[in-house]
Amino acid sequence: MSAPKQVTSSYLRTCRGAAETSSRNLVERLPPEILIKILSYLDASALFSVSHVNKLLCQLANDNALWNKIYIAKYGKNKKSQELQDRVAGGYWKWLLFRTVAARDMNKWNRHLGLVSRHTGLPSHTERVLRNLHVTWELTLSDKSGHEGTLELSRSEFCETAAFLCWSGGGRLPNYHQIPTFQLHGVRRIALSCPGLKNPGWRSLMAELEVQTLTKSAQVIGRDRLVEMKLLQPGIIIGTWRDQCSVAFIAFTLHFHRLVERSIQGSSSCPYVEPLVKTPFDDIDPQYGLHGYQLHIVLHNTECKLMSGSFAQLFCRRTQICDGLIQLTAISRTNLSQHTPLSGSVTLPWRCEALQGAVENCCIMSLTLLDEFRKPFWCVSSPVSMQPEETPVSYDYDGEHFLIHYLDSDGQYS
């Protein structure tokens, strides 16, 4: 009795396959004029979805006349659009529609970036604006043969003045020594209803790194029984499995200063360039040095805020300016009454698929230094390690004393 069952099953599969082929051939046999007429009844979301069905529909669904009709229905006619209507390249009106939608959304949310926090000197609604503009981030890895692969963001966390982005394993990440370069792009997506498809968007280059070059100076900031965290450069860590070369996760910490602009206003090959703003002249006692600076510092991890504090009226005498560096003291190392106690243990949690852990004496430091005009002067967000420090006996504190030391090309903090 088994033979007839096999024949029947084969027959059903053949019939089903023939029906699907027949259906596809029926659509492809329709005259282009008929297909264009059918497509003319679709909205932008449906037309974008149809363009992913096959090569023929992709070509027809990018027809300028269809997208010009949608553009005019949404934004009306103007003299320029009428002049361009018949002499633009294919796909122009589709591109213009999405660009116009993006620009209008940006103008709407730009007003929210003007609301500045008096504590941090940064826009108060950075996270809200990023979410409402449908901004995400992608990591593009290249191997030694030049092949590229783009990874979707695994998770993101937002703190008071910084964002934490993580891409984790699941077999998607190659061995540590097989990654010559990677790029971080911000991606702005247009809000369309296209289930199962990536919405159209634009990429903005935010970082491009030569991994093997950075590996030589990479700093191990901590480890637990499963992973070792390597700081490639400030703000970028790679977690590798202990005693292996395979990568568990790659993470970035991004400071909120100009984060919206950096995420969406660059191009796929060039990062956003911050405009140069001439600092107002200050002639108040030039012999006194620099004064009126303000520091806001947050210690946090991927789950919670550990400490937050602001220090106003910081100053630097002329004699303390050396080799382009200025010395500002917010907390005296010897005055223990100015030190901040932290309750509980300081850890940096990590997560990779079903595995998770926490590296002790590590956290993320987000630092914002404002100048006397309350404009961001130096902004930092990076994982850091906390090193035990020998201090004189204190009757005010019962626990251990730790020191954070941070250094980059613009300055240092300790």
Pick from 128, 127, 119, 159: nearest CA to 305 = 159
Range of the domain at 385: 286-413
CB 371 within 8 A of CB 279: yes
Q: Indicate if 134 and 258 belong to the same structural domain.
A: yes
Q: Indicate if 307 and 401 belong to the same structural domain.
A: yes
Angle of helix 64-75 versus helix 92-113 axis, rounded to 10: 30
pLDDT band for position 395 (50/70/90)?
A: low
**Is 118 within the bounds of a domain?**
no
Torsion angle, alpha carbons of 250, 347, 118, 207, to 10: -10
Give the residue-averaged pLDDT of 261-273: 90
d(CA 233, CA 111): 33
The pTM of the full predicted model, rounded to 2 decimals, is 0.82
Q: Domain boundary residue among 101, 134, 163?
A: 101
d(CA 361, CA 274): 35
The per-residue pLDDT for 397 is: 64
Q: Indicate if 75 and 160 belong to the same structural domain.
A: no
CB 298 within 8 A of CB 380: no
Give the residue-averaged pLDDT of 113-119: 89
d(CA 369, CA 314): 10
Tracing tokens 């070792």 back to the chain, one arrives at: 228
Tracing tokens 């996270």 back to the chain, one arrives at: 127
Express each pLDDT in 198-223 by its tens digit: 778 889 999 999 988 888 888 999 99
Which 3 state secondary structure label does DSSP give 29? helix
Give the residue-averaged pLDDT of 173-194: 85
Q: Indicate if 180 and 305 belong to the same structural domain.
A: no
What DSSP character marks residue 283?
A: -
Distance of CA 211 to the CA centre of its chain: 18
Examine the pLDDT at 18 and tell me if it is beyond 50. no
Which 3 state secondary structure label does DSSP give 312? strand
Examine the pLDDT at 240 and tell me if it is beyond 70. yes
Return the H-helix or E-strand segment holding 307: strand 305-316
Q: Indicate if 390 and 309 belong to the same structural domain.
A: yes
Give the residue-averaged pLDDT of 17-24: 50
d(CA 256, CA 276): 18
pLDDT band for position 14 (50/70/90)?
A: very low
The per-residue pLDDT for 237 is: 94
- Domains of the chain: total: 3
**Is 7 within the bounds of a domain?**
no
d(CA 407, CA 414): 9
* Backbone conformation region of residue 196, classed left if phi is above 0, alpha if psi is from -120 to 50, else beta: left
Q: Mean pLDDT across the chain, nearest whole number?
A: 82
Examine the pLDDT at 98 and tell me if it is beyond 90. no
Q: Domain boundary residue among 68, 101, 134?
A: 101
Angle of helix 64-75 versus helix 32-39 axis, rounded to 10: 20
Give me the DSSP letters along 154-194: -EEEE-SSEEEEEEE-TT-S-BGGG--EEEEEEEEE-----
110, amino acid identity? N
The per-residue pLDDT for 284 is: 53
d(CA 184, CA 25): 42
Q: Domain boundary residue among 264, 294, 317?
A: 264
Q: Indicate if 307 and 244 belong to the same structural domain.
A: no
Give the residue-averaged pLDDT of 13-24: 48
Q: Indicate if 169 and 224 belong to the same structural domain.
A: yes
Examine the pLDDT at 279 and tell me if it is beyond 70. no
CB count in 10 Å sphere of residue 164: 22
d(CA 237, CA 250): 6
Examine the pLDDT at 9 and tell me if it is beyond 50. no
**Is 223 within the bounds of a domain?**
yes
Give the residue-averaged pLDDT of 49-68: 86
Region of poorest pLDDT, from 16-25, 71-80, 274-283, 333-342: 16-25
Q: Indicate if 72 and 165 belong to the same structural domain.
A: no
d(CA 332, CA 319): 19
**Is 176 within the bounds of a domain?**
yes
Q: Indicate if 331 and 258 belong to the same structural domain.
A: no
The per-residue pLDDT for 2 is: 43
Q: Indicate if 143 and 181 belong to the same structural domain.
A: yes
**Is 399 within the bounds of a domain?**
yes
CB count in 10 Å sphere of residue 102: 20
**Is 274 within the bounds of a domain?**
no
The per-residue pLDDT for 131 is: 93
Pick from 153, 360, 176, 112: nearest CA to 254 = 153
Better-predicted residue by pLDDT, 275 or 195: 275
Give the residue-averaged pLDDT of 107-118: 86
The per-residue pLDDT for 3 is: 44
d(CA 181, CA 213): 9
Q: Indicate if 130 and 202 belong to the same structural domain.
A: yes
Pick from 251, 182, 173: nearest CA to 210 = 182
Better-predicted residue by pLDDT, 28 or 117: 117
d(CA 144, CA 177): 10
**Is 112 within the bounds of a domain?**
no
d(CA 276, CA 283): 21
**Is 330 within the bounds of a domain?**
yes
Exposed/middle/buried for residue 313 (C-beta within 10 Å: 0-12, 13-18, 19+): exposed
CATH of the domain at 325: 2.60.40
Examine the pLDDT at 4 and tell me if it is beyond 60. no
Q: Indicate if 330 and 380 belong to the same structural domain.
A: yes
